[in-house]
Amino acid sequence: MPVQPDLLVGFMAATFILCIIPGPVVTFLVATGIRHGPLAALIALAGTTTALSTHMALTVLGLAPLLSAMGPWSEALKLIGAAYLVWLGIASWRAPIERGDTTPPLPVQHGALYRRGFIISVTNPKTLAFYAAFFPQFISSASAPTPQLVTLAILFIVISTLSDGAYAVAAGRLAPYLKGERAQRIRNRVTGALLTSAGIGLALLRR
């Protein structure tokens, strides 16, 4: 085993605690699940997982210290993600109401959901700089670092995907109960407020 058992257990426990704390990604997945159902939430999850895998690859390749030293560019990336969340929140708040059975449901663009998930996750501030500080705590100097990093990166992706997926599917299961006009209006306001609040909080966040 590339990683020592005690370090592996500690890493899994720390990762689980980190992943179950809702952040911008979970907020987006929950909002998507409530509005469009479980399948749409899982498609958005595929986008967030792709972004997470990209971050893991960069971390393993050793680019995290370089990118975290870019200073203003990291701040710009965070603000882009915050602005995108606020834009999605406003769009959700103003989304039209589907009235009865005479109006066909609005089509869900799976590609757009995937792209939104990717953008929100790839601009999440809890990314490269965090991983660069987090992963070395579980690397033993007695073994080659690359196999250990690869193992930890794969575990992080699996745990994060399962945790985020649980949030997404649970929210999606509520969708059939939120189809009435009043329920839709409440749903739009709640998801809009969640996404907008997450975006504002992201903009105000300081590492």
Average pLDDT, the chain: 79
Phi, psi at residue 106, to the nearest 5°? -65, 135
Determine phi and psi for 143, rounding to 5 degrees: -130, 165
Q: Can you read off the two tokens belonging to residue 48?
A: 């967030």
In angstroms, the CA 7 to CA 12 distance is 9
Q: Is 122 within 8 Å of 54 (Cβ atoms)?
A: yes
How far apart (Å, rounded) are the C-alpha atoms in residues 164 and 51?
13
Using alpha carbons, list the distances in angstroms from residue 206 to 8, 23, 78, 163: 30, 15, 10, 25
Q: How many C-beta atoms surround the C-beta of residue 166 within 10 A?
A: 14
Q: For 147-170, write each residue's pLDDT tens digit.
A: 888 899 999 999 999 999 998 998
Instruction: Specify the residue for token string 């370090």.
Output: 7
pTM for this model (two decimals) = 0.71
User: Cα(198)–Cα(82) distance, rounded to whole angstroms?
Assistant: 8
Per-residue pLDDT of 109-148, as tens digits, reads: 889 999 999 998 888 755 776 787 778 878 887 778 888 8
- Provide the pLDDT confidence category of residue 99 given band limits of 50, 70 and 90: low
